[in-house]
Amino acid sequence: MLHYEIIHYCDIPPEQKRNLAVALTSLHCRTFSAPSIFVNVTFQHYTSEGWTAGKLGCCQTVFVGGRRVHTNYIHAHIRPRTPHNQAKLNTLTTEIMRLWDEIIVRSKPSRGSRYKPKEPPGRLGESRALHNVFIMQDIAAGAEQGFILPIAGEDGKWIEENMAEFERRAKDGDESMRALAEEVKTGLGSGPVLKSKL
């Protein structure tokens, strides 16, 4: 139902990627009482030579203030919400920055890094800093795992309407639907059921 797109210049080891993906999923679930199996997180690592996955022959080139820089950023694509959710979105942004700092910056100092804890977060020139976070309410409609997405804020009603199909698919061996059924039992917003094989 949403997509966190993480574009990063700094190297992020697999364990940190997993930790950040789980933390972002849990944060989103708690913030919006959303089912975790519909929270998508992708990582795109770029270098000055090109994208690392497949070396497509193109480079990510970023300019800030007319100056070429290497940055790390997160774009969150979510379903549109009403204006009264602005404070919630601001808190989500702040928490995303905190999670990045905790999981990516502070957990493994990089060689040659100029980061010092007293510096403000997001500083350009710091290779591991998260330079920007943009939350875009740009998913007007869509489908995921064969289900048409509900309107934001109506996930509970949507779950009720589709629960029989979730349970049928879980019974037929669909691990994501089994995880969803378990999560519904513990309460939406509880985050991912980590013992799942997903």
Indicate the pLDDT class of residue 111, thresholds 50, 70 and 90: low
pLDDT of residue 188: 74
Per-residue pLDDT tens digits for 43-92: 998 876 654 455 544 567 788 888 888 889 999 999 998 888 899 999 99
Q: Give the residue extent of every domain in the chain.
A: 2-136, 145-186
Q: How far apart are the first and last CA of the chain?
A: 17
DSSP letters for the chain: -EEEEEEESS---HHHHHHHHHHHHHHHHHHHT--GGGEEEEEEEEETTEETTT--S----EEETTEEE---EEEEE-----GGGHHHHHHHHHHHHHHHIIIIISSSPPTT----TTSPTT-TT-TTS--EEEEE----S-EETTEEPPPTT-HHHHHHHHHHHHHHHHHTT-HHHHHHHHHHHH-TTS---TTS--
Q: Stretch 100-124: mean pLDDT, rounded?
A: 68
Q: Tokens 């940190």 sit at which residue?
A: 16
Task: Name, in order, each residue with C-beta under 8 angstroms of 179's C-beta and a sequence gap of 6 or more.
Answer: 36, 37, 192, 193, 196, 198
Indicate the pLDDT class of residue 190, thresholds 50, 70 and 90: low
d(CA 45, CA 99): 18
When mean pLDDT is compared across 13-22, 103-112, 162-171, 186-195, the lowest value belongs to: 186-195
Q: Stretch 96-120: mean pLDDT, rounded?
A: 72
Give Cα separations from 136 to 4, 68, 131, 139 (angstroms).
10, 24, 16, 8
When mean pLDDT is compared across 83-92, 111-120, 129-138, 185-194, the lowest value belongs to: 111-120
**pLDDT exceeds 80 at position 10:** yes
Task: Name, in order, each residue with C-beta under 8 angstroms of 173's C-beta and a sequence gap of 6 or more.
Answer: none
d(CA 35, CA 155): 8
When mean pLDDT is compared across 37-41, 67-71, 94-98, the lowest value belongs to: 67-71
Indicate the pLDDT class of residue 119, thresholds 50, 70 and 90: low
**pLDDT exceeds 90 at position 153:** no
pLDDT of residue 156: 83
Q: Answer yes or no: are the C-beta atoms of 92 and 17 closer than 8 Å.
A: no
**pLDDT exceeds 70 at position 174:** yes
CATH topology of domain 2-136: Macrophage Migration Inhibitory Factor (3.30.429)
Maximum alpha-carbon separation in the chain: 56
Indicate the pLDDT class of residue 120, thresholds 50, 70 and 90: low
**Mean pLDDT across the chain:** 83
Q: Stretch 120-144: mean pLDDT, rounded?
A: 87
